[in-house]
Amino acid sequence: MTKLLKTPHHTRASIRVKFPDGYILSGTFGALEKVKDVVEFVKSNLMHPTRKFYVFETPPRRVLDEKLFEQNLIQAKLVPSSLLYFAWTDIPETKNEHGPFMDMKRLREFIYTPPQPVAPKEENKTDKDGDEIMS
């Protein structure tokens, strides 16, 4: 019973991933989703999704690697919220000049849908007696 009382009751996790260029990708996940789901979410928003990368939290530095992929977000201690950092695996320190990182065109289309123009209503024309005039 004591263990149950100490168990967190969060059902959602707000995960933010900060990129070296300052942009932040934010997503909301179920607390029982896996770490690999977060990594796949990041991958799906990259400009180069085939390039190898990793995400980590700090301090202390903890890389969310394959060993943690099958853990749910509660087990990985990412609930209720976490700030992760992005890095490429093929260079020692990922910097702004190593971008672009996110596929901004895709994100823009996903986030922003411009309003559709509304056609003006045609007004019914009436004569002085109030009868409709046919054109």
Residue 122 domain-assigned (yes or no): no
Average pLDDT, the chain: 86
d(CA 77, CA 14): 12
- Assess if residue 95 is contained within a domain: yes
Tell whether 2 is covered by a domain.
no
Tell me whether residue 5 is in a domain. Answer: no
Burial code (b: 16+ CB inside 10 Å, e: under 16) for 10-42 equals eeebebebebbeeeebeeebebebbbebbbeeb
| Residue located via tokens 């411009």 | 114
CATH code of the domain in which 87 resides: 3.10.20.90
Is 131 inside a domain boundary?
A: no
Would you state the pLDDT for residue 121? Answer: 65
Does residue 53 sit within a domain? Answer: yes
Taking residue 130's Cβ as centre, other Cβ atoms within 10 Å add up to 6
Q: What percent of the chain has a predicted confidence (pLDDT) above 70?
A: 77
Domain that holds residue 38: 13-100
Tell me whether residue 75 is in a domain. yes
Q: How far apart are CA 57 and CA 59, in angstroms?
A: 7
For residue range 41-54, list pLDDT tens digits in order. Answer: 999 999 999 999 99
Average pLDDT over residues 87-108: 88
Domain presence at residue 20: yes
Count: domains in the chain: 1
